Amino acid sequence: MQADDIPAVRAIDQMSFSLPWPERAYDYEIHKNQSSLLWVAEIDPPGEGSKVVGMVVIWQILDEAHIATLAVHPDFRRQGIGENLLLNALDGALDRGAKHAMLEVRANNWAARKLYKGFGFEIVGRRPRYYRDNIMRMLCL
């Protein structure tokens, strides 16, 4: 992810989450947060130039990779993009010494939970009534 991806990334964020990140957040993650690893997924439709259709942000602290956000544009879901993003992001974190990965997901987010299960994430805790829904903490070793 680079600074000129931010408008497309923010649009995907807003289409994907009821509580999107604040306006300056991606700029901070790219330029200031040394722990942040950021990727976008791009497609190249003929004659249109490349288009950002997904993003993932990992905060890596020592040997833990925390998946801070992951989203795919609603028009491009179920095409393997989310899986590819996560695979690349975890690969990058492994290269930088990660030994396990952690994330939080709403209990009713079945699409994301199924994706994470496929990667071997397992539920290690629950935070009831966090925001509006229950939140599950998942770990992958």
Give the interface with ligand COA as residue ranges (CB under 6 A).
Answer: 16, 70-72, 77-83, 105, 109-112, 114-115, 118
What is the closest distance, in whole angstroms, from the C-beta atom of residue 139 to ligand COA in the complex? Answer: 14
* Tokens, residue 132: 């509006």
| Min dist. Cβ of residue 97 to ligand COA (A) | 23
Task: Using DSSP, state whether 6 is helix, strand or coil.
Answer: helix
| Helices marked H in the chain | 6-16, 25-31, 81-95, 110-118
> Which tokens belong to 63?
């040997």
* Radius of gyration, CA atoms only, the chain: 15
Output the smallest distance, CB 12 to ligand COA, in A: 8
- Please say which residue, 20 or 92, places its beta carbon nearer to ligand COA: 20
Output 98 or 102, the one with its CB closest to ligand COA.
102
